[in-house]
């Protein structure tokens, strides 16, 4: 469907992404003003989930690599930010940037095996990383405080702003900025190169691209997004402990990516919404029907599994892909209706051609 000229977005990618970010940020700002403080905490949770899923979506959906241990990169970011805030009195932006940088470095190192490993072998490496990172805080308890974790003081809000709303603003702002950076990265020459390597590695190599270097770069960028999510998580939770970064977190991120749409940054927000509100919904349903403790514990996983099956069967491209297909179908119907109306009007407005007189 063709939009009016005044509704069309600029063609320049950076300007278009900034405009969308400002519009989305204003919507989120209004929402934070109109909901309760508990809802603001959930909005903050949506923020760090969204940027983590977006990073995984870049790795898997855009470059075609598999990661089953993306929660480990979140752990690197969270512990890096937590240690910085525990030992140094610095502006909030500094620990968050350290979290992004530390996760990017670890991601680049993990991406080195990706130059030779593919499919289940690469997934196995990232899975081993998830288990290894979870055990490191206990092995170096003098630094990471073991199972007790690192206590992170929440950011002090200005004036009379509630702490929960201030936390939501910080987390959502960080997520939106991260999305803008990822969107511009995907629209750049590097983003096009990543898709080329995913679609046909041999053809990409023949075109002068270096698939190995691009895979490492993608791992670093994806891990940096997860590190940002980890730093925001540390602010949101107030504590960084090994239990927060179990394998289940990595599986959750993967499920959120599938639900929202692999390779879509907007789909990451749909996936984050599902990860935050489905557990709450299942808990309410379990309490309403007085289900047993065992059923309550497994109902969330059952609902996630059922939702993923439904998504894969009815909308293989996720929620965002389904919405995109729906918009295209509406556009085709609108064009078809316009064409039918034009054909109906044409005989009334056209000038009849002179009849041919046969000799």
DSSP alpha helix (H) spans, 238-292: 247-260, 265-288
Whether the per-residue pLDDT at 270 is higher than 60: the answer is yes
For residue 81, give the nearest of 165, 168, 171, 163 by alpha carbon.
171
Mean pLDDT of the chain: 86
C-beta separation of 150 from 144 below 8 A? yes
Whether the per-residue pLDDT at 240 is higher than 60: the answer is yes
pTM assigned to the model: 0.88
Model pLDDT, residue 355: 46
Whether the per-residue pLDDT at 11 is higher than 80: the answer is no
pLDDT digits (tens, 9 = 90+) for 170-183: 999 999 999 999 99
Whether the per-residue pLDDT at 67 is higher than 50: the answer is yes
Model pLDDT, residue 3: 56
Cβ neighbours of residue 278 closer than 8 Å, sequence gap 6 or more: 300, 303, 304, 307
Whether the per-residue pLDDT at 87 is higher than 80: the answer is yes
From residue 55, alpha-carbon distances to 1, 40, 165, 216 in Å are: 30, 23, 25, 14
pLDDT digits (tens, 9 = 90+) for 121-174: 888 888 888 888 888 888 888 888 888 889 998 888 988 899 999 999 999 999
Cα Rg of the chain, angstroms: 24
């Amino acid at each position: 469907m063709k939009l009016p000229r005044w509704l069309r977005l600029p063609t320049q990618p950076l300007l278009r992404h900034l405009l969308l970010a400002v519009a989305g940020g204003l919507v989120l700002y209004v929402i934070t003003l109109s909901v309760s403080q508990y809802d603001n905490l959930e909005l903050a949770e949506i923020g760090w989930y969204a940027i983590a899923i977006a990073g995984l979506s870049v790795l898997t959906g855009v470059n075609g690599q598999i990661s089953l241990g993306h929660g480990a990169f979140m752990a690197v970011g969270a512990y890096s930010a937590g240690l910085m805030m525990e030992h140094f009195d610095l502006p909030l932006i500094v620990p968050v940037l350290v979290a992004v940088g530390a996760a990017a470095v670890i991601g680049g190192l993990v991406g080195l095996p990706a130059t030779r490993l593919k499919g289940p072998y690469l997934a196995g490496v990232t899975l081993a990383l998830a288990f290894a990172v979870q055990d490191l805080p206990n092995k170096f308890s003098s630094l990471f405080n073991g199972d007790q974790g690192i206590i992170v003081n929440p950011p002090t809000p200005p004036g009379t702003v509630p702490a929960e709303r201030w936390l939501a603003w910080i987390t959502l702002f960080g997520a939106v900025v991260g999305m803008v950076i990822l969107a511009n990265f995907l629209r750049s020459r590097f983003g096009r190169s990543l898709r080329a390597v995913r679609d046909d590695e041999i053809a990409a190599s023949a075109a002068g691209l270096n698939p190995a270097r691009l895979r490492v770069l993608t791992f670093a960028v994806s891990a940096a997004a997860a590190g940002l999510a980890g730093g925001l998580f540390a602010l949101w939770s107030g504590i960084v402990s090994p239990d927060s970064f179990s394998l289940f977190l990595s599986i959750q991120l993967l499920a959120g990516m599938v639900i929202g749409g692999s390779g879509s940054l907007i789909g990451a927000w749909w996936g984050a919404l599902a990860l935050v509100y489905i557990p709450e919904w299942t808990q309410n349903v379990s309490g309403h029907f007085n289900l047993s403790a065992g059923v309550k514990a497994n109902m969330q996983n059952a609902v996630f599994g059922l939702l993923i099956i439904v998504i894969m069967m009815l909308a293989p491209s996720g929620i965002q892909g389904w919405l995109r297909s729906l918009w295209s179908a509406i556009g085709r119907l609108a064009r078809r209706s316009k064409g039918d109306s034009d054909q109906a009007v044409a005989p009334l407005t056209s000038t009849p051609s002179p009849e041919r007189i046969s000799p």
